[in-house]
Structure 1
Amino acid sequence: MVNLPTIDMTGTGQNINRLRKQAGLSVKDLQDIFGFATPQAIYKWQQGVALPTIDNLVVLAAVLQVRLDDILVIDAATQMQIGA
C-alpha cells in the first residue's frame, strides 16, 4: 500500500462556493464567465459531485484571484494499492 494524495471533492466544492461568495460573484456570473449554457456544472462543482477541468480550474483561480492550492482540498491520507 502506498499513500497517494487524492482530491477531496466535497471540500473542494465547499471552497469553490465560499471563494465565489467572497469574490462577490453569483453562480450566474461564473456561468457567463465560462460561457456555459446552464449553471449545472458550477452547481456540481460546489456540491462536490464533479470537479472543474484543469483549464477551467486555472480560469477559476484567476477569476477568484486565488491560487489553485486555495481551491483544491487534498486528502493525503488515502491509501491506494499500486502494482500490476
Structure 2
Amino acid sequence: MNRYIEENKIVFHPMINLVKTGQNIKSMREEKGMSVQKLAKFMEFEAVQAVYNWQSGKTLPSLENLKILSELFNKPMDEILIFE
C-alpha cells in the first residue's frame, strides 16, 4: 500500500498485487476451461507470452484487455485485479 501525509493525516492508497492478480487471471481462465493458447487466440494475440506474463505477475493487462477479460469471465474488473 502506498501512503503519504496529507494535511497531517496518513492516507493509504491500495496497490495492485501483480502476482496475486496473475494467479487470479489463471484461476479464472482455468474455471472457464480455456488453455493459455485459447485465451491468447481469443485476445487476438500473435503469441501466448502476454498471457504467461500476466499469470506470472510480470505485467498487467492493459485497460482494454482488462475490459475484454472482464466480459469473458463475466466479472467486474475490480474482481480480476487484486489490491493490497
TM-score normalised to structure 1 length: 0.85
The count of aligned residue pairs is 75
**Structure 2 residue 70 is matched with structure 1 residue 61:** yes
- CA distance in 2 between counterparts of 1:72 and 1:37 reads 24
What is the letter of the counterpart of residue 8 of structure 1?
Answer: N
Unpaired runs of at least 5, structure 1: 76-84
Quote the offset at 1:7 in angstroms. 0.4
CA-to-aligned-CA distance 1:25-61 (integer Å, 9 cap, x gap): 1111111111111100000000000000000000011
- CA distance in 1 between counterparts of 2:59 and 2:19 reads 9
**Structure 2 residue 15 is matched with structure 1 residue 3:** no
Question: Which SS does the other structure have where 2:21 is aligned?
Answer: helix
**Structure 2 residue 49 is matched with structure 1 residue 37:** no
Quote the offset at 1:70 in angstroms. 1.5
Identity among equivalent positions (%) equals: 37
Unpaired runs of at least 5, structure 2: 5-10
What is the letter of the counterpart of residue 23 of structure 2?
Answer: Q
TM-score normalised to structure 2 length: 0.85
Tell which structure's C-alpha radius of gyration is larger.
2
